Structure formats: C-alpha cells, structure tokens
Structure 1
Amino acid sequence: MEHEHHEGGAHHVAHHKEKEFTLRIGRKTALVVAAVIVVGSLGYYLKDIFVAAKVDGRFISRFDVIRELESVSGKQALESLITQKLIRAEAKQKGVTVSDDEVNAEMAKVEEQVKAQGGTLEQALSAQGMKLDTLKKQLRTQKLLEKLVTGTTEVNSEEIAQFIKDNNVAIPNGQEEAYNQLVKSQLIQQRLNTAKTAFVNDLRAKASVSIYTKY
C-alpha cells in the first residue's frame, strides 16, 4: 500500500513538473513571438527613419543620403550652423529677441518676392528642398542679426546726394523724394550687409570653435 502510494506521489510530482516545464516553454515562446511582432511593427512604422527609398528591391538608407549631402555641401552647411549658433548665443546674451509677428512679416516679404517672379512659396521651398520651419528659423536668425547691428546702417541726406552725384543718377522732375528714398534703401542695405559680415566674422574670431569633421 505504501509502495503504491509512493508511486502515485512520484507520478503526480513528475506530471506537475512536466506541466510546469510546458507552461514555462509556452511563456517563453509567447514572449519571443510578442517580441518579433513588436520589432516587426516598429520596423514597419519606423522605416521612414532609416530608409529613404527602395530601388528594384534594394534599399537606400537615410545615412546614404546624409553622406551624399555632406560630400556635396557639408562644409557650407556646417559653417551655416556654426554661424546661426553664434548669432543666437550673442542675441541671448544681449537680450535681443525676435517675435513671431516679426518672423511672419519677413515671411510675407519673401512670399511677395516669390509671387512677383510668378511662383509660390511652396514651389520655391520645394525647389530648394527646404521645409517651411527651416525657412522661418533662418529668417528669425537673420532678423536677430539685423537687430544686433542696428545703429551701424544710418544714412543721411548728404550721403544720398553724394551717391546720386557719383553715379550720375538722372532724376525726373517731381520724382526727387521717391529717388532719394530708393537710394537711401539701397545704401542702407549695402551697409547692413557689410555690417552683418563684419559682425559675424568678429563673433567667429572671438569664439572657440572646434571642428571634428573635415569636408
């Protein structure tokens, strides 16, 4: 009787262990399947992050695109990013800001210029491969730079008259004021561009810039 009871107990323990082992294998399998599903789903939804295109079954990764862009205009892009960072840091230090309304006003000017050439802003951005947010960021930085050099672009009436004389500008009767304003705007823009270049060069000369990637 005791022997039969012992055999029955052993059989019960063995059956319990077998069931526990089966459950353990089942859980592991379920976890593996779940992981495969998750990874597969992520791969599908995140493919745009890693893959730029597929040609005849062969992938072109976004890293390939980045390498190509860097080889073509990497140096120019890097210099632009460095300049933008220096301008923003200087503006922050001096408490100079640009509002969204000011950026929108600059955007309107750009749109008018593009429209005058028979195009649209969307077409112009597409042709440049640029996004709207990137353009806004650039316009904000340019406006910050303009504010930082404010006071160095003043033009007086004597300078306007001298420019008209030196360039033999013929002014029709009754159009003196309009021509004076036109010349003034041109002189201000010239001085603004000169001041911007000098200011950025000065920032770059004073800054500690380490470049780790050579293009």
Structure 2
Amino acid sequence: MEVSERTALFSMAINLVIFAIKYLSASASGSIALKAEAFHTLADFIASSTVFIGLKIAKRKTKSFPYGLYKIENLMSVFISLIILYTGYEIVLEVINTNTIEIRNTGYAILSLLASMAITFWFSRYEKKIGKKMNSPILLADAAHIRSDVLSNIVVLAAVLTASIGFQFDKIAAFIVVGFIAKTGIQILIDGVRVLLDASLDYETLSKVEKIITDIP
C-alpha cells in the first residue's frame, strides 16, 4: 500500500474515532449542537472514504477504460453528497421539533471537544506534509477540509461553555454546524458533477497550460 493510500486510510480512522467521541459526548450531555457536530465529522469520514476509494480505483485500467476508472470516485461523491445534505436536513428538523434541553455533563463535553480539536489540528498538519511530499492534490484538499473543521468545533465549544453559565446557545450553534455540513455536501456535489460533465478548467489554468506547451519546441 502506497503512502498516499495509508494516509487516506489513517484519515478515515481518525474521523471515525472523533465521531465516536463526539456522539458519545452528545448523548451524555444532551447537546443538539454537539450531536450535529458529530454527524459533521461522520460526513468527513465519508468524504475521506471517497478519497481512499478514489486513490485505489483511479489507477485501475482496462481495455475499455484505458485512462482508468477515476470517474467512479466522482459518481460516488455525488451520491454521498446527497446523503450528507439529507443528514443536515434531518438535524434541522430535530432542532426545530426539540424543546430547549439543559446541557448535562458540560465538563465531559468540553474535554471531548478539546481533544477532538487537538487531534484534528495535528492530523491536518500531518496530512498536509504528506500531501506536499507526494505532490497529491487529493490529500492536500482533504487536509484543508479537515483543518477548517476546527471552526465548527469552536462554535460548539462556545455553546457548551455558555450553557454552563445559564445561556442557551445550543440550538443556534446547531444551525451554524448544519451550515458547515451543507457547505461540505454542496462542495462535494459540485466537484463531482463538474468532473462527470467534463467541465473546463478555469481560464487562468488553461492559459498556463498553453504557455507551457508553446514554450517547448
């Protein structure tokens, strides 16, 4: 197994562990925002899975597919993005239909969030380092995506901290996290559809390609 494939597999394992930590913490605390963040991490796990599968499948070539089966990854991405968006929709319904609940075990929730943030930040730096070393755009993109999750963790942490002093920010935080989930789903959907429909590169990139070609006799 190549380094890029091992890193993608490591990303899947990390996201699955963080999902378990957050989900158990959400169950113990009753925080809807923390539950939403757990499913946000689950969406990241699914995204990391497509990275791993894409790296494995893309290299396979047949007589019918001499350039490889790379578009299967994008086909899967479109399907997965719809699941992610539906998850966000279900969380919105839960937030709307659930009465305000007093958050319990705030200390446990805070510790789990801090641990998740530390793991996320460390792994994003590690994956970025490997991505640069391997010159792998898919690993660099995954590292940037994972690093951006620290922001949603901060939102949920703020909700839990304010709950401990009597201010209920949990539902608002849950809506904010749903925004992050929707952003993840929409970005995966757009990227997948663009490749499946053979969208053109941007003008700047095309110009660079043209210049490289014309500069070589």
**TM-score above 0.5, yes or no:** no
Q: Where is the helix percentage greater, Structure 1 or Structure 2?
A: 2
Flag the structure with more relative contact order, 1 or 2, with Cα contacts below 8 A and sequence separation at least 6.
2
TM-score, normalised to structure 1, is: 0.24
